């Protein structure tokens, strides 16, 4: 029994090949688009939180409501319904420096042509150290003390080189010993040493030798 060769019919081969390759190609295209949207949402989330941190670093430090409004106004590339409201947490580090943490989240959807996956949650946290006011000066600063008036120095005594000091008085002389040497201080009207011989004769003569200090 002879077998007849069946004719080769190639019609519809391209449609079958496309049907086999189309799902994989669609998954690749849609996945690429979803990845791009995810990256754009992450960039917008990071930019919004960074803008809020920059705004919070100025002095004087804005209020929390003003900072949150700045963060929400700077958000882009995200669906507002999927944004988790940003929050601010204040604290102090180990060195006593005040800071605040700005936290914001976004639930990014993953939707493909034939299925929908669970959304991916993107979270951005940014810490910024706030500026504090300098310490105010004291209300009543201590008044400077009044400098004391220096006392008038006493006139130093002038020691003599050697001998004794002789001070004449009205009725004699006073001798004060010194370290060495002799110093004679005459008065304005006085004689330091007087030696004389007087004779009470009518024609007597007197000899007097003296030293008078002026």
Whether the link from the prior residue into 156 is cis, omega within 30° of 0, is: no
Nearest to 161 by CA among 146, 183, 142: 183
* pLDDT tens sequence for the chain (214 residues): 555 665 666 778 888 889 999 888 888 898 899 999 999 999 999 999 999 999 999 988 899 999 999 999 999 999 999 999 999 999 999 999 999 999 999 999 888 767 788 899 999 999 999 887 654 455 555 555 565 565 555 555 555 444 444 444 444 444 454 444 444 444 444 444 444 443 444 444 444 444 444 3
For residue 188, the model assigns a pLDDT of: 45
Rounded Cα distance between 71 and 77, Å, is 14
211 HSE (CA, 13 A, CB side) = 8
| DSSP assignments along 14-80, one per residue | HHHHHHHHHHHHHHHHHHHHHHHHHHHHHHHHHHHHHHHHHHHTSSSPPPHHHHHHHHHHT--SS-G
Decide: 67 and 89 in contact? Cβ < 8 Å.
no
Q: What's the pLDDT at 111?
A: 82
pTM exceeding 0.75: no
From the number of C-beta atoms within 10 Å of its C-beta (0-12, 13-18, 19+), residue 67 rates as buried
pLDDT, residue 170, reads: 47
DSSP-based three-state secondary structure for 186: coil
- The pLDDT of residue 197: 42
């Amino acid at each position: 029994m002879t077998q007849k060769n069946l004719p080769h019919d190639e019609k519809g081969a391209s449609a079958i090949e496309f049907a086999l390759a189309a799902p994989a190609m669609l998954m690749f295209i849609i996945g690429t688009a979803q990845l791009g949207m995810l990256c754009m949402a992450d960039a917008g989330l990071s930019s919004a939180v960074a803008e809020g941190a920059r705004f919070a670093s100025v002095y004087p430090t804005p209020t929390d409501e003003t900072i949150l409004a700045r963060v929400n106004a700077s958000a882009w590339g995200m669906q507002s319904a999927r944004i988790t409201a940003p929050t601010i947490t204040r604290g102090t580090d180990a060195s006593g420096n005040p800071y605040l943490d700005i936290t914001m989240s976004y639930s990014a959807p993953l939707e493909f042509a034939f299925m929908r996956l669970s959304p991916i949650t993107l979270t951005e946290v940014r810490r910024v150290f706030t500026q504090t006011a300098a310490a105010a000066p004291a209300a009543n600063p201590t008044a400077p003390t009044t400098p004391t008036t220096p006392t008038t120095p006493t006139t130093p005594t002038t020691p003599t080189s050697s001998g004794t000091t002789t001070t004449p008085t009205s009725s004699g002389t006073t001798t004060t010993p010194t370290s060495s040497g002799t110093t004679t201080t005459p008065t304005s009207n006085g004689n330091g040493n007087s030696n004389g011989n007087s004779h009470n004769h009518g024609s007597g003569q007197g000899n007097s030798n003296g030293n008078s200090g002026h």
